[in-house]
Structure 1
Amino acid sequence: MPPANDPRPVEPEKPLPGDCCDGGCNPCVLDTYAEAMEHYRERLAAWQARHPEAG
């Protein structure tokens, strides 16, 4: 049984179109977002494995 306090992970907020300045920043906000999405997908998959009833 999953822990009682095990909330579903929250998807990171997508950057707005104007958030990237096209200045070649390292890291770019779009790179940071892509990395955050990767981690989110991993956490979501683990959460779904603990909560199969959630679909």
Structure 2
Amino acid sequence: MTDSERLNVTEGAPAPSNDPPPVKPVEPDAGDCCGQGCVPCIFDFYEEALTQYYEALAAWKERHPGQSPD
């Protein structure tokens, strides 16, 4: 274990190699929707996943200040 990993463990934060940034969900194509008015629609699932992604990204940025998720 490196000193930086030990420091992160000591502080209670996961090491960066063990805490990758979240992955943005892929937006469905318009053709992925059947157009039947389904509830929930595939786009509803996407919106929910996108909200979860932004929440996870904000938490990740708090754990890794000054780092870019890219």
Whole-angstrom CA distance in 2 between matches of 1:29 and 1:20: 6
Matched, 1:42 2:55: yes
Q: CA RMSD in A?
A: 1.1
The higher relative CO (CA closer than 8 Å, separation ≥ 6) is in 1
Length-normalised TM-score, structure 1: 0.90
User: What corresponds to 1:17 in structure 2?
Assistant: 30
Runs of 4+, deviation exceeding 2 Å: none
User: What corresponds to 1:31 in structure 2?
Assistant: 44
User: What corresponds to 1:3 in structure 2?
Assistant: 14
Length-normalised TM-score, structure 2: 0.72
SS at 2:59's partner residue? helix
Larger radius of gyration: 2
Instruction: Give the share of equivalent positions with the same residue, in percent.
Output: 55
- CA shift at 1:22, angstroms? 1.4
Deviations 1:1-55 (A, max 9, x none): 4312000000011101101111011110000000000000000000000001214
1:3 is matched by which residue type in structure 2? Answer: P
Give aligned pairs, total: 55
